[in-house]
Every structure is written in structure tokens, then in C-alpha cells.
A and B are shown apart, each in its own frame.
Chain A
Amino acid sequence: MELPEIIENVAIELLRSAVTKLPDSVEKALLKALEESQTDVAKTQLQAIVDDFITAKTSILPMCQDTGVVSFFVKAGEHFPIIAELPNILKKATIKATHDVPLRPNAVDLFKGNTGNNVADYIPWIYWEIVPNSNMLELVAFPKGGGSTNISKLGLLKPGEGLKGIKRFIVDSVVDAGAKGCPPYFLGIGIGGGEDIAMNLAKKALLRSVGTHNTNLKIAELEKELLKALNELKIGVMGLGEGPTVLSVHIEVAGRHPASLPVGIVFSCWADRHAGARIDSEGNITYLNF
């Protein structure tokens, strides 16, 4: 098989895997939440979630009807032979996956309506990264649902508001989100950079395995402190007031302009879906574990 065909097949498999099988660390977090839940409503709701993702895994069908808008995180080694063709290969894979998995057609053109195949201008979106001295391609399929997208937020705080302002913005964002994005949530937070950089980092933070912390100890402390505090809000599973509200907080921090303090917060619903693989220039495939 030629390399373009291998990449296309891997991309289809990643989309299938993302919508039918949760990353191991996400699955573990949800099972632990069910085990620890004390009340009837929390138990019923978490049991329904667990039953649903187990059915999805065994039947290889999407766990949620909202199979998301498709994006890919791409890390292309500078020596990987196929880079310029990638957008077209990923578009073809998305169209095929839409039919085969199937995925719900979720790409809507502003004027022409739903394109019917999950491909539209700029969609699937690609987050590019070029890796020096590498002959590998790393692909992560990241389909993002609409419900949790709609509650994501960007705060352009005044630098004087500092850490207190950042914490307040995050608490207020979770309160505003309430039940709307299918809690328990997984949170990705990006601080600094600029308006788009903070949001980008927030999204990227969701790729980290659940339960891991930022290697910067101060940021790791902030993650732990926020996780504990946000659960005291008691929004609960599905916003019904019982069980966990947030299962992980991942924070990435970039340098910032002296006059700006951007904070991006990207919510993932309980179905924190993504799947990845590495392909070398010979076409050997290694699937990633999140």
C-alpha cells in the first residue's frame, strides 16, 4: 500500500476509534466516578454513561449522536515525505468515515447549509506542528461536539486581576456552563499568549491523559486546587445537582503581552473523544494511548 492510502486508512480508523472508544484515562475517570457516587440520581446518570460507552465499544458505533466537527492535530516530521497532500488526504478520510462509521454530517456552510459529508471550507481543521529532525507523522483525530463547544469561553482579563481574576473567570465560566455541555466535564485551560493562542492551548491541554498534571509544579497545584473547588459548585452529573461536576483540569501557560491576560477555557463533555497514531515514512503504524 502506498503511503497516502495508509495515511487515509489510519485517519478513518482514528475517527472511528475516537467516536466509538474513549481514551483509557477518560474511561477510567468515569468508572471511578460511578464507583464513588453515593446518590441515586448520580448513580443512574453515570451508569447510563458507562452503559453507553461500553455499548459503543462493543458494537463499534458512535457513543453520542453528535460526532462533532472534525479536526486533526498533526505533528509532521520535517523529513516525512507527505506534507502538502495531507489536507486532501484528511478530507477524503473524513468523507469516507462519515459514510462508513457513520458520522453525523456536521459541517454547515453559512449560505448553502449542511454539506452532508463533514467537509467544508477549512473543515476538517488542521492544527499544524512541524517537528525538526523527524521522519514521523503524528495524527490525532479530535471531533468536538457542539454542546460543549458552545459553553467554551475566552476571557481577556486585565493583568492587574492576576491569579485571582483567572480563578474567578474559570469558576464563573463553569457556573455559566451549568448543565448545558453534558457534565462531568474535562477542562482545558490556556493562559497567556494572545486571544487565539489561549484558546488553542486550552484545546491542546485536553489531549493530555486525564490524571496527569502540568510539569510546572505551580501550574500543577493550580490544576489540583481548581479541580477540588469546581466540584464544590455541585452542578453535578448532567447538571442534576449530584455527583462530580469536573473530572479533570488541564492548564497550559504561555508568555503574554504586558497589557493582556487572555484566558481560554475549552470544555469537553464526558465523552472526551480523541484518538491518535504515529506513522513513519515506511508506513509503519503505532497507535497512541491517551
Chain B
Amino acid sequence: MGEFHLTTPIIEEAVRRLKVGDTLYVSGTIVTARDEAHLKALELHNAGKKLPVNFEGIGVFHCGPVMKKSETGEWTVIAAGPTTSARMEIFEEEFIKAFHPRIIIGKGGMGMRTTKACQEEVCVYGAFTGGAALLAANRIKKVKDVFWLQELGMPECLWVYEVKDFGPLVVAIDSHGNNLFAQVNDRVRENVTKVYKQLHIIEPGG
């Protein structure tokens, strides 16, 4: 399992080299988007309208950060760890196909629809340590922009960050159809029977 450092805009070949289990660090631009930002972005796209951010080749970060505005009006990141990506599963396939980001960053993994979209559109999902919000904040070097703040609020709006070596991300979905969380899940399902027996929920041999 290798370690990779990529800079946005990320090219297709660089993404193809990544395999599940690899460690990845991203530099360049990443944009936060959670449930409501995904929904709004897709609504605008489907209505033929333009987004304030071009997601092509950059990272989408499932994150609702704590931000603070200084007296001079500048935003700084206080805490910015990943949120649970599973909630975005209902949007991500369409989002990847519509906007062509190269990396989705979050926690907890995503499902088979996202895995398929990653394979078709050459994208990866990188898992950042859940809750490690200060580690993430330390890798965010600049708040470049913010959109939809008034309408969606601080956790749900689009924060555009410039990052340096953002990570470590564990590549959990690669562009070859592999899904690390699904693999772990399969093993957990096998372990359940063993655990049932250990707890005498079912009898040994049963």
C-alpha cells in the first residue's frame, strides 16, 4: 500500500494509480458540501443554471466546519473534520457525473452507487479520521471563498479551502470498483455468526 501526494486539479491518470488501502494527501482546492449543498447544487444543475464553484478536478469534502469571522471580516477555520458520508449516498452518483470532482473526502464510507460512479468517472473516495477536526483545520491554509452561507448556514454551505497535504486519507473507494468499507462489512457479516455463538445467542453448531 502506497503513499501518494496529489495536487488539484488532479488528472485522470493520477487517480487511476490509487488503490484501496493507499494513503493519500491532497494539496490545492477542496470545497465543503453536505446534504443541503448537494441537493441545491443538483437542483441548479438540473435547471440548467451555473454553480458558483467549478468542482472539476478538485476535492469535495463532506464537512460542516466551525468557522469564525475576525473583526476585519476574514474567515478562519476552527474545526473541520469529516461528517458521515453515508448521508450523501443518495446524491453522490449524480453529483460526480454532473460536476466531475476527482476526490470525495468524508468518513464512514459510501455505497455501491458511488463506487460505480467513481469507476465510470474516475474518482476516488478518501476517508479522513472522523472527529479529527483540528488535524484537518491545521492543513487548511486559506479560506478562499464561501457561497450559500446566508441560505444554508455555516455547516451546510460551500466553503472553498486551499489545503496543503490534507490527510492522511485512506483510499476507501478507488476507480477500479473496489470499496474497502464494503470489504470490511463482508468480513463483519461473517464474524457475526461467531459472535452469536460466543454469546450463546445461537448454540454452537447451530
Interface residues of A (CB under 8 A from B): 41, 44-45, 48-49, 51-52, 55-56, 59, 61-67, 102-106, 113-114, 116, 145-147, 150, 164, 167-168, 171-172, 175, 178-182, 225-226, 228-230, 232-236, 238-241, 269-271
Report whether B108 and A179 are in contact in the complex, using a CB–CB cutoff of 8 Å. yes
Alpha-carbon distance between A172 and B189 when the two chains are bound, in angstroms = 10
Interface centre among A64, A145, A164, A175 (most CB of B within 10 A): A64
The stretch that binds A, out of B41-49, B52-60, B62-70, B117-125, is B62-70
Which residues of A lie under 8 Å from residue B189 when comparing CB positions?
175
**Would you call B135 an interface residue if the criterion is a C-beta within 8 Å of the partner chain's C-beta atoms?**
yes
Q: Tell me which residues from 71 to 86 in chain B have a Cβ below 8 Å from any Cβ of chain A.
A: 78-81, 83-84, 86
Is B168 touching A235 in the complex (CB atoms < 8 A)?
no
Residue B170 is within 8 A (CB to CB) of chain A in the complex = yes
Q: Give the distance in Å from the alpha carbon of A114 to the alpha carbon of B149 in the complex.
A: 11
Q: B195 and A65: CB pair below 8 A?
A: no
By beta carbon, the residue of chain A nearest B128 is A48
Q: Are B64 and A66 in contact (CB under 8 A)?
A: yes
- Cβ contact within 8 Å between B154 and A105: yes
Contact of A233 among B83, B86, B170, B195 (CB under 8 A): B195
A222–B107 alpha-carbon span in the complex (Å): 31
Q: Are B83 and A147 in contact (CB under 8 A)?
A: yes
Q: List chain B residues, Cβ under 8 A from A167.
A: 199, 201
Q: Which 10 A-B pairs have the closest CB atoms?
A: A182-B130, A114-B153, A241-B184, A48-B129, A65-B79, A52-B132, A64-B131, A65-B133, A179-B108, A104-B66
Is B155 in the interface zone, CB < 8 Å from A? yes
Chain B contacts for A271, CB-based, 8 A: 131
Question: Is the beta-carbon distance between B131 and A116 smaller than 8 angstroms?
Answer: no
Inter-subunit contact A232/B198 (CB<8 Å): yes
Q: Which listed residue, B83, B153, B196, touches A171 by the CB 8 Å rule? A: B196
Complex contact B130–A59 (CB within 8 A):
no
B38 CB → nearest A CB, Å: 16
Flag if B109 contacts A52 (CB, 8 Å).
no
**Are A229's CB and B86's CB within 8 A?**
no
CA–CA, A56 and B172, complex, Å:
27
In the complex, which of the residues B63, B84, B127, B154 contacts A150, with contact meaning CB atoms closer than 8 Å?
B84
Question: Complex formed: what's the CA distance from A229 to B81 in Å?
Answer: 30
Most A-side CB within 10 Å, residue of B183, B195, B200? B195
Q: A41-B170, A238-B107, A271-B131 are in contact. Are A65 and B80 (CB under 8 A)?
A: yes
26 CB-based A-B contacts, threshold 8 Å: A51-B132, A52-B135, A61-B79, A65-B64, A65-B133, A66-B131, A67-B66, A67-B79, A102-B68, A102-B78, A168-B196, A168-B201, A171-B192, A175-B192, A178-B109, A178-B184, A180-B84, A182-B130, A233-B195, A235-B188, A238-B170, A240-B127, A240-B172, A240-B181, A241-B183, A270-B131
Q: Is the CB–CB distance between B195 and A56 below 8 Å? A: no
**Residues of the B chain whose Cβ atoms lie less than 8 Å from the Cβ of A66:** 64, 81, 83, 131, 133
Query: Given the complex of chains A and B, what is the CA–CA distance between A271 and B133 in angstroms?
Result: 11
Q: Do A52 and B201 form a contact, CB below 8 Å, given A62-B78, A102-B66, A104-B64?
A: no
User: B residues bordering A, Cβ < 8 Å?
Assistant: 21, 23, 63-66, 68, 78-81, 83-84, 86, 107-109, 127, 129-135, 138, 153-156, 168, 170, 172, 180-181, 183-185, 187-189, 191-192, 194-196, 198-201
Closest to A113 in B: B153
- Whether B199 contacts A229 by the Cβ 8 Å rule is yes
A286 to B136, CA, bound (A): 34
Contact B107 A182 (CB under 8 A): yes
Output the nearest chain B residue to A235 by Cβ-Cβ distance: B188
What B residues does A164 contact at CB under 8 A?
Answer: 199-201
Q: Do A238 and B195 contact each other (CB < 8 Å), given the known contacts A102-B78, A150-B84?
A: no
Question: Do residues A147 and B84 form an inter-chain contact, with CB atoms below 8 A?
Answer: yes
Q: A residues within 8 A CB of B135?
A: 48, 51-52, 55
Name the CB-closest residue of B to A164. B201
Q: Say which residue of A105, A145, A238 sits within 8 Å of B129 (CB atoms).
A: A238
Extra pairs beyond A45-B129, A179-B107 (7, CB < 8 Å): A49-B131, A52-B133, A62-B133, A114-B155, A168-B201, A229-B199, A232-B191
Considering only CB atoms, which chain B residue lies closest to A242 in the complex?
A: B184
Please give, as numbers and ranges, the residues of chain A lying within 8 Å of B131 by CB-CB distance: 49, 52, 63-64, 66, 145, 182, 269-271
Contacts of A239 in B (CB 8 A): 108-109, 181, 184
